Amino acid sequence: MAKGALMLIGGHEEPRGEILRCFSELVGGSREIALCTLATVEPQAAFKRYRESLRDLGVTAVHHLDARTREDCSDERGIGLLEHADGIFFSGGDQLRITSVLGGTPYEDALRRAHLRGAVIGGTSAGASAMSSTMLVGGEDEESARRGTVTMCAGLGLLPDAVVDQHFAQRGRINRLLAALAQNPGILGIGIDENTAVLVHPGERMQVLGSGTVTVLDARGAYVGDASEAAVDRPMRLGPVALWVLPERSTFDLARRVSTHNQDSPGEHSEAPASR
């Protein structure tokens, strides 16, 4: 089991707000962060922006992991940076750039070793989507759940048995997350609003931070589904689906799929329907 926490951010987090402050505190001010800008086409600007924010929050050593090609992901300096980093952070952009460039390289191996030994791994927007085992690459934001309207591939797998979507409420993405689950109902769907994050502690407890909500969808109990029979671009049937909308301070047990409403009421919880 990995010893490090995961922080997945829905995008547009405040530069010096609660979410990045929490990430900084988890890492520790005197320790080192590797900032990976692989997803963006403006890596220097992204690095400068996050370095300034993290330094203002007390992190003294922020290093740029400036990989742009698969060849770059074998660089010995970068491998050493990942091996020794206390925190690793992925900026936003295009999540497919993260997996297609990083996947299967020495950098990916070093990232996994860092997480296993206890490094905190964070990502915003595309950087959050890339962390799950199944990755949403694209799809229609406001279209009904239809076959063929979402594109998925394997993610980095640091968050197993899940698919993550971001900018969730702001871009009306619940139907595309439902479409992803209709085609793979065994995984958990996690939709994260902007300026909102989930902090996944070792042991699979997830905590919500920030000003928005996190929507969790569980289709394991579905006994109606026709993704395999539906024609391309036609609506799919799926149900029932358990749904939680979790505001700040809510917690969720990813292993048991049990929601604790908030930290002030640890005895209150609800469970997903039993599988049929």
- Is 228 in the active site? no
Q: Which among 167, 194, 250, 259 is annotated as catalytic?
A: 167
Catalytic residue, candidates 24, 91, 125, 250: 125
Q: Which long-range contacts (CB under 8 A, 24 or more apart) does 54-59 make?
A: 54/20, 54/24, 56/16, 57/16, 57/20, 57/21, 57/24, 58/24, 58/29, 59/24, 59/27, 59/29, 59/31, 59/33, 59/87
Q: Per the structure block, which two tokens stand in for 257?
A: 């799929």
Write the DSSP assignment of 79-102 as a string of letters: HHHHHH-SEEEE-SS-HHHHHHHH
The amino acid present at 238, given as its one-letter code, is L
Name the helix (H) or strand (E) containing 25.
helix 18-27
167 catalytic per annotation: yes
Three-class secondary structure of residue 103 per DSSP? coil
Is 125 among the residues known to form the active site? yes
Question: Rg of the chain over CA atoms, in angstroms?
Answer: 18
Q: Which of 18, 140, 143, 248 is catalytic?
A: 143
**Which are the catalytic amino acids?**
125, 143, 167
